[in-house]
Amino acid sequence: MITFCGRTSLHAQQKDRILPQANAEYADNKFAEAEANYRISDSKFPKNAVAPFNLGNSIYKQKQSGEAKFAYAKALRNSKTRPQKHRALHNLGNVFMNEKDYTQAVEAYKNALRNDPTDEETRYNFALAKKMLKDNPPKDDKKKDDKKDKDEKEDKKDDKKDKEEQDKKDDKGDQNKDKKDSKPDDNGEPKPAPGGISKQRLENLLDAVNKEEKKVQDKVNAQKVKGKPVKTEKDW
């Protein structure tokens, strides 16, 4: 279960009489009424981080996490302290988890931990998000993997073709080896028979080695990723 920061803030600005009323409604589980008043408070004090964060919570409680995301994003922009940023990022992570956007969830939880490395609930959710991302890679990544496999197959075909052509050249070269070895160069020394690897063949081999190293590194990185199930939301 993902943890959620759902407690409303008690640090309301004294000039804002709407925010305390909204907080009381939220405490009474009147989330729709609280949402309306948080919107009013947010419109009157657009630079305050409290109202948009609590607005996000009230929307989230009404099971509209996708919409809550925008309120949390504004709260994050308005946040002045690390605790405020941590809570906004934690709940943004929860929204992304609900949307199965595990890449964004990992980033949100990771940045939340940067603002509060001691929060075990965020750390737990971060581990779960990484595990879910590992088990459910983005479709684009799968397409890239498929394309990489296809490219590797094409490279192998090219390598085979190059080898066959090179072998033919080598066989033909061996037939005239004695003649070429006996022909002196300008300094009176015998010229060596042509040999070695073709430039194209060398480039293909280097590409194949680089791709293989990349594949091994990807496997090593994947094995480092571990995670467990998630905990609840953060409160303001």
- Is the Cβ–Cβ distance between 93 and 112 less than 8 Å? yes
More confident residue, 228 or 204: 204
With 0.75 as the threshold, say if the pTM is over it. no
Task: Give the mean pLDDT of 210-215.
Answer: 65
List, for residues 139-194, the tens digit of each pLDDT value: 865 555 555 666 666 666 666 666 666 666 655 555 554 444 434 444 443 343 33
Q: Which two tokens stand for residue 119?
A: 């929060």
List, for residues 93-147, the tens digit of each pLDDT value: 999 999 999 999 999 999 999 999 999 999 999 999 999 999 999 886 555 555 5
List, for residues 4-16, the tens digit of each pLDDT value: 665 455 444 447 8
DSSP string over 128-189: HHHHHHHHS--HHHHHHHHHHHHHHHHHHHHHHHHHHHHHHHHHHHHHTHHHHHHSB-TTSP
Q: Which of the residue ranges 44-53, 54-63, 118-127, 227-236 would you say has the lowest mean pLDDT? A: 227-236
Query: What pLDDT sits at residue 192?
Result: 36
The CATH label, of 3.40.50.1220, 3.40.190.10, 1.25.40.10, 3.40.30.10, for the domain at 3-136 is: 1.25.40.10
Residue burial 17-31, b: 16+ Cβ < 10 Å; e: rest: ebbbbbbebbeeeeb
Residue burial 163-187, b: 16+ Cβ < 10 Å; e: rest: eeebeeeeeeeeeeeeeeeeeeeee
Query: What pLDDT sits at residue 194?
Result: 39
Residue 67 pLDDT > 60, yes or no?
yes
Query: What pLDDT sits at residue 15?
Result: 78
CA 173, CA 180: separation in Å to the nearest integer? 9
